[in-house]
Structure 1
Amino acid sequence: MHIVRIGYATLKGARHVEQPCVRLAENGPVGDRVFCLADPDEGRVLRTVEHPRLVLVETGWDGTVLTTATPEGGVVTAAPRPTGEQLAFEYWGRQARVELQDSPHAEQLGDHLGRPVRLARVSRPGEVVYAGPVSLASTGEIAALGESDPARFRATFVIDSERLPGPGTELAIGQAVIRVRSTLPRCRVIDINTATGTMDTRHLGTLAARPRPIGELPFGMDADVLVPGTVRTGDPVSATGR
């Protein structure tokens, strides 16, 4: 097995950008979901499934300056400044702690989505991650759905394999070691066309028709980081045997 794709999104829900490499820290990929969009009036973090045009937003982040680009042609490059407002917003039934930012990105992204939004920085990695800090998908799983675009599944790592190792398996992946945790529940985000921002498949319906645990629509696995390290596209993936 080896890594065929690495990806993440600096802004929660934005385009899942393919990366040549990533640094895995104990709490997940460095640079992943550093920011999110929020609605302070409703006290909620915006969800991609409710705002599918988010996937059309391209982002870049160097640790200080955030760049966002929308299909309308606008590009905003600026360093977000914290306002000092630290809030707890609802995210899939739990509280996510974020700090509101003062930056021109909010106006640009609000115009793109057709609604007022605020840019917020996540207080700590994982606050707006639904499951484990690392997500995995296999080329075999993706092909079985008849899909050619792995970005739909927003996995940290796509592994060249017919199936993924089961829960509890420890994997050496580049310089890092991860432990597979459990199957990854899915929502209609996997049905969003990453080029148009529209729902155009029934992958979720296909998963619903398969034998599965009651109340879950699993696809892929999530994992925890045991040993931090850098992972590059093409790196081998193997069970540690520990």
Structure 2
Amino acid sequence: MHVIEIRRYPVKSMLGEELPAAEVGERGLAGDRLWAVRDPDGKFGSGKNTRRFRRMPGLFDFRAASGAPAPTVTLPDGRRFAADDPAGHRAIGAALGRTVSLAPEASIPHYDEGPVSLITTASLRALAALTGDDIQALRFRANLLIDLLGNRFAEDDWPGRTLRIGPDVVLRILRPLTRCVMIDMAQDAAAERNDLLKLLAGQHEMTFGVVAAVEQTGQVAIEDSCTWV
């Protein structure tokens, strides 16, 4: 097994960036989902409605890239704003048709289920076999895509195990990742669908991939080997 994609999403539920390498700390990839779009009532933009999150259609029209002291957000018309720029908040709100601001993470993490998300090429092939066509990895917004031989939902056997990635990073696999309607939405080069969530709900308990906690921090990079410890 080895890493073939690393993805970071500086603003939750916006498009993100593909990286050759990334630092991994206790909360996950440095800068991942560190900012989020926020409604006036304090709920954060997401692909689903929960106690903390509010579904906000249109967030996939924006792309966020890491920066200091705040990420840069590119609007659909090409304008760019720092995530801490009130003028950018107004522009984003106008594009979404609602009043919003962008806020950095406080005491409660912005991520849904855990610090680091992983999927494998084996599981993508298994899902493709059920749908009859190729499935783009980017639909699942995972931090790490692991290349793995086979054609099965390999991660089903991973919870409770410990995975070393490269020379430094050690992850403890927590549980399968529950999916929402975002996997069917159009994003980047992936066209809109209406079948993936239904299929996973009927045949795979609505899960795909796994979420992990960070046992040992460090750097991950493309082509890093992955071994069980």
Same-fold call, TM > 0.5?
yes
Change (3 A) 1:211 1:20: closer
User: For residue 11 of structure 1, what is the amino acid of its counterpart?
Assistant: V
Report the residue type matching 2:207 in the other structure. Answer: P
1:60-209 equivalence runs, <5 A: 60-76=65-81, 78=82, 80=84, 103-124=86-107, 127-146=109-128, 147-161=134-148, 162=150, 163-164=154-155, 165-174=157-166, 175-195=168-188, 199-209=192-202
* Root mean square deviation, CA, Å: 2.0
Secondary structure, counterpart of 2:123 in structure 1? helix
Aligned length: 212
Residues 1:221 and 1:103: Cα distance change in structure 2 (over 3 Å): same
Amino acid at match of 1:182: R
TM superposition score normalised by structure 1:
0.81
Gapped runs of 5+ residues in structure 2?
Answer: 49-54, 129-133
Partner of 2:63: 58
Q: Is the 8 A contact 1:60 1:68 kept in 2?
A: yes
CA distance in 1, matches of 2:176, 2:121: 16
Q: Which amino acid aligns with 2:110?
A: V
SS at match of 1:204: helix
1:211 to partner: Cα distance:
5.1
Q: Answer yes or no: is the 8 Å Cα contact 1:7–1:157 preserved in 2.
A: yes
Per the normalisation by structure 2, the TM-score is: 0.85
**Contact 2:11 2:71 (8 Å CA) reproduced:** no
Q: Percent identity?
A: 31
The structure where strand makes up a greater share of residues is: 1
Structure 1: where are the runs of 5+ without partners?
81-101
Amino acid at match of 2:111: V
CA drift of 1:197 comes to 8.8
**Alpha carbons 2:16, 2:64 under 8 Å: kept:** no
> Which structure features the higher share of helix residues?
2
2:30 corresponds to:
30
How far the C-alpha of 1:169 sits from its partner, in A, is 0.9
Instruction: Identify which of 194, 207, 219 aligns with 1:230.
Output: 219
Shift in Å at residue 66 of structure 1?
A: 2.9
AA paired with 2:33? R
Shift of 1:104: 2.1
